[in-house]
């Protein structure tokens, strides 16, 4: 069969530039699709971080130009010279992207993010006009690329190209003041409730939802949730109006990077059939966090998370004393975020030296050691489009305790205490009482070693690989190609 021709556009991708899960998707999915005989090319902004890697690259278009409002801006397109990966092209203009961070700094978002990403979207379209590559599908990701489907629909040269818009987190909508709208170059008729207007402002994410041929998000449950007022962030009506073309496809995991059998960043390797190395990892974690050695025979619970309300980390504060004093568990938390939440966690844990450790930083190596050495991982998110830490945890034999929302609901199956079937424990309501009940159940099963080992084996044997996820995306691409609607 002739390979499908896809252009995949994102604002970040590992290992070149990353702030969150979008980068993991953009760094892995195109390569997995390439293995399925898809002719796919990736376009990214030319951030400083991309070029700091010292990768060889070539200028494939030394001088293209596009409009930003009435101003004509020139830019270059560089191709990274990589082997055995999907080709990666970067839109390079120094004043837009040569900055210390991707979207902002500790003081907040960059003041000109509207200009930066309107420019990026328009530059992508200008590249399409000049390229000798004729894609059949344009796959856009999150608000930074949301204008591209609108431009594609407005341009007669591109109306035959199908557009897919993947929503990774509805909480980030690319919302800007009305005076910035003219910079898009779109006709004023697009600034209305059925277009980009959103409560007196306008949303780049809404553009992707309204003008793409299909919308996908990163789990089946999240695809349903965002069509409700509770989770829809004011866009649930738009999504319900497109219900037939909204799809939920689970993210994947790069098991070459996340595998306890090969991970060089953990103290010992282990397999589903031999967990000896996991016990070594637990001992190392206890030492590293200065916990009481008696926890070798009791559960150690880990949290690796951004600290904010979405992630539900505040739910552990009112139950921490119960966990440590009554359930006799140890708790290790790694993360940074909301300052008030950090202080509350610190205060709550102060009475429990030897049973509680709170490490306030981002630390990839320690995160892996927690995933490998803890017995359980807590993911109490109020909403979670897909979630990756629970997938990593299962692979490392660390049993997840999650709130039944979004991708957490789709990836963690409830444990049967009698048979050991299932991979984790879930709670329904985002409150401390439900959360505590789920942890209590997990601890009771931990005290039944044969059942617990079965649960660990189940999780480690699950397949959430990108190879499997890519098959789902390929099926959706093929469905889009069969769609003859205008």
- State the pLDDT at residue 138: 98
Is the CA virtual torsion 463, 466, 468, 473 positive or negative?
positive
- State the pLDDT at residue 115: 98
- Predicted TM-score (pTM) of the model is 0.94
- Closest residue by Cα to residue 316 from 286, 364, 358, 373: 358
Distance CA 336, CA 289 (A): 17
Contact 413, 434 (CB under 8 A): no
User: To 10 degrees, the CA torsion angle through 22, 26, 28, 30?
Assistant: 150
Domain 5-252+467-482 homologous superfamily, CATH = Glycogen Phosphorylase B; (3.40.50.2000)
**Which CATH entry fits the domain spanning 276-463: 1.10.287.540, 3.40.50.1390, 3.40.50.300, 3.40.50.2000?**
3.40.50.2000
Q: Residue 97: which H helix or E strand, with range?
A: helix 94-97
- Which two structure tokens, joined as six digits, stand for 49? 């971080």
pLDDT in tens, 412-439: 999 999 999 999 999 999 999 999 999 9
- State the pLDDT at residue 486: 55
pLDDT in tens, 5-53: 999 999 999 999 998 889 999 999 999 999 999 999 999 999 999 998 8
The radius of gyration computed from the CA coordinates of the chain, to the nearest angstrom, equals: 23
- Report domain extents, the chain: 5-252+467-482, 276-463
Helices 21-34, 466-482: inter-axial angle, 10-degree rounding: 70
Residues of the chain with pLDDT under 70: 485-486
Domains 5-252+467-482 and 276-463 equal at CATH topology level: yes
């Amino acid at each position: 069969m002739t390979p499908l021709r896809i252009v995949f556009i994102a604002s970040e991708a590992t290992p070149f530039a990353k702030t969150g899960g979008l980068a993991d998707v953009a760094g892995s999915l195109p390569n997995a699709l390439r293995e399925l005989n898809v002719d796919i090319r990736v376009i990214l902004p030319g951030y400083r971080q991309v070029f700091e890697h010292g990768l060889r690259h070539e200028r494939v278009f030394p001088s293209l130009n596009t409009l930003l409002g009435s101003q004509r801006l020139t830019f270059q397109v560089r191709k990274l010279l990589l082997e055995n990966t999907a080709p990666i092209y970067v839109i390079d203009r120094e004043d837009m992207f040569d900055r210390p961070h991707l979207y902002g700094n500790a003081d907040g978002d960059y003041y000109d993010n509207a200009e930066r990403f309107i420019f990026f979207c328009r530059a992508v379209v200008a590249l399409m006009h000049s390229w000798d590559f004729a894609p059949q599908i344009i796959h856009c990701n999150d608000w930074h690329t949301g204008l591209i489907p609108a431009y594609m629909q407005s341009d007669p040269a591109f109306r035959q190209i199908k557009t897919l818009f993947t929503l990774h987190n509805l909480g980030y909508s690319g919302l800007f003041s009305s005076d910035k709208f003219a910079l898009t170059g779109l006709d004023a008729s697009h600034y209305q409730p059925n277009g980009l207007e959103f409560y007196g402002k306008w949303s780049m994410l809404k553009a992707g939802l309204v003008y793409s041929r299909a919308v996908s998000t990163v789990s089946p449950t999240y695809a349903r949730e965002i069509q409700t007022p509770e989770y829809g962030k004011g866009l649930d009506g738009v999504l319900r109006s497109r219900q037939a073309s909204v799809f939920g496809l689970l993210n994947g995991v790069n098991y070459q990077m996340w595998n306890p059998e090969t991970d060089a960043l953990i103290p010992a390797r282990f397999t589903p059939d031999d967990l000896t190395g996991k016990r070594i990892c637990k001992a190392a974690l206890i030492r590293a966090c200065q916990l009481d050695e008696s926890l070798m025979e009791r559960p150690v619970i880990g949290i690796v998370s951004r600290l904010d309300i979405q992630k539900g980390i505040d739910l552990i504060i009112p139950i921490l004393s119960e966990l440590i004093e009554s359930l006799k568990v140890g708790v290790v938390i790694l993360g940074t975020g909301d300052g008030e939440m950090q202080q509350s966690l610190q205060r709550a844990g102060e009475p429990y030296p030897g049973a509680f450790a709170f490490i306030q930083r981002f630390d990839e190596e320690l995160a892996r050691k927690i995933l490998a050495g803890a017995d359980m991982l807590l993911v109490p998110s109020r909403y979670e489009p897909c979630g990756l830490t629970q997938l990593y945890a299962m692979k490392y034999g660390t049993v997840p305790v999650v709130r039944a929302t979004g991708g957490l609901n789709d990836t963690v199956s409830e444990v049967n205490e009698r048979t050991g079937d299932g991979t984790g424990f879930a709670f329904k309501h985002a409150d401390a009482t439900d959360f505590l009940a789920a942890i209590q159940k997990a601890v009771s099963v931990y005290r039944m070693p044969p059942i617990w080992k079965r649960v660990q084996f189940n999780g480690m044997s699950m397949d959430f690989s990108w190879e499997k996820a890519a098959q789902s995306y390929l099926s959706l691409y093929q469905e889009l190609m069969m769609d003859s609607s205008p």
